Amino acid sequence: MIAIGLDIGSTTTKIAVMEERKLLYTEIVPTGYNVEKTWKELFAATRERLNLEMEMIGGIVSTGYGRNSVDIATRRVTEIMCHAAGIRYSLPGTRSIIDIGGQDSKFIQLGETGEVTDFKMNDKCAAGTGRFLEVMARALESNLEDFGKLSLVAEKAARISSMCTVFAESEVISLIAKGEARENIIAGIHDSIANRMVSMMGRSGVVTPVAMTGGVARNEGIRSALEKKLGISIEVPATAQVNGAVGAASLAS
Amino acid sequence: MKTFAYFDSGHEFPEEIVMAAGFDPCKILGDVEIGTGPADEYLHNYFCPFARACFTEALSRAGEWAGIGFAHGCDATNRHYDVWRAHIDKPFFWVNTPMKIDATARKFHLRELENFRAGLEREYGIEISDEKLAEAIRLSNRIKNGLKRLAALRAEHDINNLEYLELMNRALTGPRQELPEELERKLDEWQQRPPFPRALEAVLLTGSDVTSPEWMEALEEAGLRVVRDDLSLGERYFRAAIPEDIPPLKALVEYYGAYPQPATRVPSDRRLQYLETAAWENDIRLVISQNLKFCEPYAIDAVWTTGVLKNKGLKIIHLEREYTPTLDQQVITRLETFKEMALQ
Ligand code: SF4
């Protein structure tokens, strides 16, 4: 039977399709204003692409902030449980997950059998999230995709002390005005996100192995800043950005 | 009967003295649906939104009240007393309450209660006799007993979170004389309710007082049913009875040493003991601890409380909440995840 996971996040909507717990297909589209229209179109396009008749689909699990809009879901599960399930699928044995998405960041602790034992989420604030990076990329007139590589060649990370996105943006503008190298500023931005994440995690709660998921996991600069601060290495699964949808599909299997 | 309103961050205000003076006590609870603009004009940013909402209510409703009482609880009560007096033209009364329980504190508390009685007598030209006080205490105990029996039904029958909040609202803000009969009627009704729904998880709720219906509903929607609590708008108000066999003011002093302690009182051991016993009595595994944004007593207390309860094997989540009727999706996700974790 086919199992489908739909993860409707604030920035992107993801779909994952599994057959007998084998991952067949994933896709990401921007969520946009009309959540319902977005997932319906994505679902229809996926069915068409994979030639899926409705009778072939055994289960649909929806997750993410828009999970309740999916009326065809056989189950609705929170993104924390789905992220945990996704990591159990792609990197079994993981004990801690750092997930940085478009508008929130999470730290999930897993027990020996992969069950969720605790979790922390950022408060209603863009600091330390993908949105924070987007704002900074705009201030630096840079492409977000280049952030990771650029930060790795920085001589030293510039100091950005404000946690607030708005104030941090004006700090970045001051640093540009002072002539600070772009790479150093980007490294400073990554450090600032890593600091925020580490304080949310509380050092005592970090049990290895640690994995990182969410769109921001593709940014090697942030991963490296986190690794330095925590003194550990962090795994990033190939399905990092669609981890929630993969988890949802695995729960639907 | 004329209403006498009071602002109390916990359950420190001696309603029985007000009842013996011939007034109906009414706890000021604010309204989450009404903006706090009027109060904001006079208050600095660091006051919690609940206290702002209470002041907003007082600014618009003080004309209906005979007077306004304050009991010393959290720091908001102290400073608000001065601000309210400057902007509302009503007789004001301040009742100091001790933050700890020992012989000196009891002596001090007794003096404060005597002063409050004398203050009311002077202001309204009345006499508050020991007999009237004893009568008020008997009525208060009947109310507490009715509430206690009703609250116990939460664990057995289908009584939703909002109904419990509404019951407490009624008990603390409405006329008291007819309340015991009202509670008896409700008891008959609640006893006929279907059993506790199997799809819901029983939880113990602690932290800042919850006055927002939306928050109680959100817990319910996340599949979490409050069957025990230690809130002032809850068990703290009715769990203990006021002794009836000693002089009335001494009885009130004894009562305030025996009720479920709030986070403003020290040491915290008694508070923790209450929570642990409540969880154990009802076989509850899940605890929701929360504080309203800028509510220092419970934000600070939560670090210690959640740690200790976790070590006792209870599953506990701590949330900071906004004073708003519109809950954000993140809070709901946290609550739902908490339930899913329990069911793993
Ligand atoms: S919510 Fe907290 S800070 Fe505000 S009045 Fe109540 S106890 Fe005091």
| CA nearest to B182, candidates B152, B216, B136, B142 | B142
Encode B113-131: b = buried (16+ Cβ within 10 Å), e = exposed.
beebbebbeeebeeebeee
The tokens of B219 are what?
Answer: 């817990």
At residue A78, the pLDDT reads 96
Domain that holds residue A37: 1-91+242-253
Residue A98 amino acid letter? I
Q: Say if ligand 1 is within 6 A of residue B212 CB.
A: no
Residues of chain B with pLDDT under 70: none
Same-domain status, A110 and A171: yes
| CA nearest to B94, candidates B109, B83, B78, B74 | B78
At residue B267, the pLDDT reads 87
At residue B65, the pLDDT reads 98
At residue A127, the pLDDT reads 72
Q: Do A116 and B344 touch (CB under 8 A)?
A: yes
Q: Do B330 and A121 touch (CB under 8 A)?
A: yes
Ligand 1 midpoint to CA B232 (Å): 11
B287 vs B318: CA distance, rounded Å: 9
A164 vs A167: CA distance, rounded Å: 5
Same-domain status, A199 and A210: yes
From B70, B292, B322, the mutation candidate for ligand 1 (largest count of ligand atoms within 8 A of CB) is B292
B288-309 confidence digits (pLDDT tens): 999 999 999 999 999 999 999 9
Q: Do A81 and B333 touch (CB under 8 A)?
A: no
The tokens of B4 are what?
Answer: 């006498």
pTM (2 d.p.) = 0.89
At residue A196, the pLDDT reads 86
At residue A211, the pLDDT reads 97
**CA distances (Å), A133 to each of A144, A145, A150, A177, A240, in order?**
7, 10, 14, 19, 18
The domain locations on chain B are: 3-130
Same-domain status, A157 and A253: no
Q: Which residues of B touch A105 (CB under 8 A)?
A: none
Q: Which residues of B touch A104 (CB under 8 A)?
A: 330
At residue A204, the pLDDT reads 61
* DSSP secondary structure code for residue A76 in this structure: E
The number of domains in chain A is 2
The distance of B320 to chain A (nearest Cα, Å) reads: 9
A109 vs A107: CA distance, rounded Å: 7
Same-domain status, A249 and A205: no
The third-level CATH classification (topology) of the domain covering B3-130 is: Rossmann fold (3.40.50)
Same-domain status, A84 and A109: no
| Whole-angstrom Cα Rg for chain A | 19
B322 vs A45: CA distance, rounded Å: 40
Contact status of B326 with chain A (Cβ, < 8 Å): no
B328 vs B306: CA distance, rounded Å: 23
Q: Choosing among A61, A80, A112, which should be mutated to test the B contact, i.e. which has the most B CBs within 10 A?
A: A80
What CATH number is attached to the domain comprising A202?
A: 3.30.420.40
3-state secondary structure B125-172: CCCCCHHHHHHHHHHHHHHHHHHHHHHHHHHCECCCHHHHHHHHHHHH
The distance of A197 to chain B (nearest Cα, Å) reads: 17
Q: Specify the 3-state DSSP secondary structure of A44.
A: helix
Q: Do A81 and B337 touch (CB under 8 A)?
A: yes
Same-domain status, A60 and A161: no
Contact status of A116 with chain B (Cβ, < 8 Å): yes
**CB within 8 Å of chain B, chain A residues 51-70:** 65
At residue A203, the pLDDT reads 61
Same-domain status, A222 and A117: yes
Q: Do A121 and B341 touch (CB under 8 A)?
A: no
Contact status of B337 with chain A (Cβ, < 8 Å): yes
Number of neighbours of residue B88 by Cβ within 10 angstroms? 16
At residue A124, the pLDDT reads 66
Residues of chain A with pLDDT under 70: 124, 203-204
Same-domain status, A73 and A152: no
Residue A185 amino acid letter? I
* DSSP secondary structure code for residue A33 in this structure: S
Q: Do B337 and A124 touch (CB under 8 A)?
A: no
